[in-house]
Amino acid sequence: MGTTNSTMKSGAKLNPDDDDVGTLSIQVILVNTETAVSNDDKATTKLKEWMDNSLFPKLPCISANDWSMHNGKYENSELSAANLEKDILRFVQVKDRYSALSSLLLKRWVFFQATCHLDLDDPAICPSSFPLVELPRTRHKKPYIPSLTTQSTNQTIANHNDEWFPFSISHQYPFVGLAHAAPKSFRLGALLLGVDIVVFDPYNPRLYQNVSEFVHVFLGSFASSEQAILRNLMKRVETDPDREPHLLREVYLMWSVKEAYTKALGLGLGF
């Protein structure tokens, strides 16, 4: 698998009522699983063997909720590796298993970035030796990093602000991506962050007779102004079929922006 790491900085007004403008540093990590999946007909077997022999036996597994309840002490967290492995192996297709594994490792990365204030780009630090982490989820199934508490009830944790360290994960084969605010960014708690990955795949001709039929599947999810744009593009495709890639690109981009926005609000269709 290949990994790309980049950082974006921007000045932004985080609150309409706040005159202060701070510098936000957003880090994006993109994992490409294509090589691991497509170049080996034994990818499924190798993945299972690696998890059973190298990953789960060598690394402790912790619950972020337990970590929060015990004031950041990992030794008080007990989590069976079987739970995490089950979440990966429940997928039938090997590409989905690699995506789930990549998501698990990225969530571990952002958890320690948030809670330990480590510079994980420092070559002296070895993130691969850190425990695996199970993150809690909001009622809309969005994963989040709980803040420290001395309370002893999960209800207390669930009521905490789940955006104290904003991050967002998305995947569409072969990519899995993570975006998060750098630990020293300005006023993290005021930031809503959402990311969505879209791959510009052609529509499946076995399921749809033409591109217009494919686009109609999405129309109901768009605002009237967005629908007008897409309907106009569909008319152009009728007279000029070479415009079909442009129409598909617009649909995918519109959908991706909408998904990233709803994920930032904590209401995404899938996390």
Domain boundaries, the chain: 2-197, 199-271
Instruction: Provide the 3-class DSSP secondary structure of residue 25.
Output: strand
Mean pLDDT, all residues of the chain: 81
Q: Which segments in the chain show pLDDT lower than 70?
A: 1-23, 39-41, 70-78, 117-121, 148-163, 183-190, 268-271
pLDDT at 152: 47
pLDDT at 259: 93
pLDDT at 147: 79
Q: Are 131 and 61 in contact (CB under 8 A)?
A: yes
- Distance CA(112)–CA(114), nearest Å, equals 5
pLDDT at 131: 86
Q: How many CB atoms lie within 10 A of CB 133?
A: 26
What pTM was computed for the model? 0.81
* 3-state DSSP of 167-235: EEEEEECCEEEEEEECCCCCCHHHCCCCCCCCCCCCCCCCCCCCHHHHHHHHHCCCCHHHHHHHHHHHH
Side-chain half-sphere of 11: how many Cα atoms within 13 Å? 3
Instruction: Provide the 3-class DSSP secondary structure of residue 29.
Output: strand
- Distance CA(148)–CA(70), nearest Å, equals 8
